[in-house]
């Protein structure tokens, strides 16, 4: 099976989910499903269809999309089964960190000033 996500690869998502993530949810088939959901969410939340224009995007925008999408997909992986982590609080801490990064990125992607900056680059 191959990566079907546009914004981030399976390996990029797996690295954020951590070594103790469930082997089931950390498999490529699950990650491909999570990426489809995450990409649709990002496009809808920002009101910009980055999936359709991805190839033409600036490298900085691609990097931000990679950051946000891999963070959100990693949250799904961790949330699927927290039993492999040293404690529930370890898993929850990872989720909090990933969520904070995703929310910062989403705020930038939704900001009209950012969009104008990117269009002018």
Q: Three-state DSSP class for 102?
A: helix
Q: Is 21 exposed, middle or buried (0-12, 13-18, 19+ CB in 10 A)?
A: buried
Q: Is the dihedral of CA 48, 52, 56, 62 positive or negative?
A: positive
Q: pTM to 2 decimals?
A: 0.92
Per domain, the residue ranges of the chain are 10-120
Note down pLDDT in tens along the chain; length 121 residues. Answer: 688 899 999 999 999 999 999 999 999 999 999 999 999 999 999 999 999 999 999 898 999 999 999 999 999 999 999 999 999 999 999 999 999 999 999 999 998 777 667 666 5
């Amino acid at each position: 099976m191959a990566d079907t996500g546009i914004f981030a690869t399976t390996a990029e998502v797996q690295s954020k989910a951590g070594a103790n993530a469930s082997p089931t949810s950390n498999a490529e088939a699950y990650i491909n499903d999570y990426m489809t959901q995450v990409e649709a969410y990002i496009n809808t939340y920002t009101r910009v269809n980055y999936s359709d224009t991805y190839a033409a995007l600036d490298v900085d925008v691609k990097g931000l999309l990679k950051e946000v999408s891999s963070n959100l997909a990693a949250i799904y992986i961790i949330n699927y089964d927290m039993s492999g982590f040293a404690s529930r609080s370890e898993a929850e801490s990872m989720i909090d960190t990933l969520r904070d990064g995703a929310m910062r990125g989403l705020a930038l992607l939704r900001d009209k000033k950012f969009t104008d900056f990117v269009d002018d680059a």
